[in-house]
Amino acid sequence: MSYFKAIIDGRNEHRQKMNVRPTVRGLVFRDGAMLMIKTNRGDYKIPGGGVGRRETYEQALVREIKEETGFICAKVGRKIGEIKELKNDTFDDEADFCMHSYFYEIEVSDEKGPQRLERYEAKLEFEPCWIPIVEAIKANEMVLKKTADIPWLEREIKILDKINQYYNGLSTIEE
């Protein structure tokens, strides 16, 4: 079974200690489009987020999809990939930080309820939408040319390309 992996290493120095934050992200497809979150800056991100201390990965995924998109997760499928984003920890001067994201295929119901956004998500006007992967990549690349201030943009471009390759049978690249 195919599986993709990627690493983004943005550290300017390597420290001995590593703080790891596991996250989960849901891949939902319909009619050639993927469910994504569009922000008021014009960029797109895959819905998902951090796993709580007392949550399983599946519980966190169901919660995050509902909070960010309003959709109810009808089925959590297989894990198809992961990405590690490494950087110097901004809260701990003696540690590096690793956001370790796991990507799962999921299905959502047709019923959509209200979003429950965090303050920063509401400020960015998170809006769920269906968009073909290549269009999301192009939009994110355009936004990246204008600003480097969006923390997830490099990850989204890289992982959307991997997902596109994965589903089109072009590659099972590991980095």
Domain that holds residue 36: 4-167
What mean pLDDT is predicted for residues 143-159? 89
How many domains does the chain contain in total?
1
CATH (domain of 119) = 3.90.79.10
Does residue 37 belong to any structural domain of this protein?
Answer: yes
| Contact in structure between 90 and 21 (CB atoms under 8 Å) | no
Does residue 174 belong to any structural domain of this protein?
Answer: no
| Contact in structure between 102 and 82 (CB atoms under 8 Å) | yes
Give the whole-angstrom CA distance, residue 50 versus residue 61: 9
Give the whole-angstrom CA distance, residue 131 versus residue 104: 18
pLDDT, position 129: 97
Does residue 175 belong to any structural domain of this protein?
Answer: no
Residue 173: pLDDT band (50, 70, 90) is very low
Does residue 172 belong to any structural domain of this protein?
Answer: no
pLDDT tens for each residue of 50-108: 999 999 999 999 999 999 999 999 999 999 999 999 999 999 999 999 999 999 999 99
Does residue 93 belong to any structural domain of this protein?
Answer: yes
Does residue 161 belong to any structural domain of this protein?
Answer: yes
Going from the C-alpha of 163 to that of each of 8, 72, 114, 175, the distances in angstroms are 16, 23, 28, 14
Which is nearest to 9 in space by CA: 82, 71, 85, 66? 85
Does residue 173 belong to any structural domain of this protein?
Answer: no
Does residue 133 belong to any structural domain of this protein?
Answer: yes
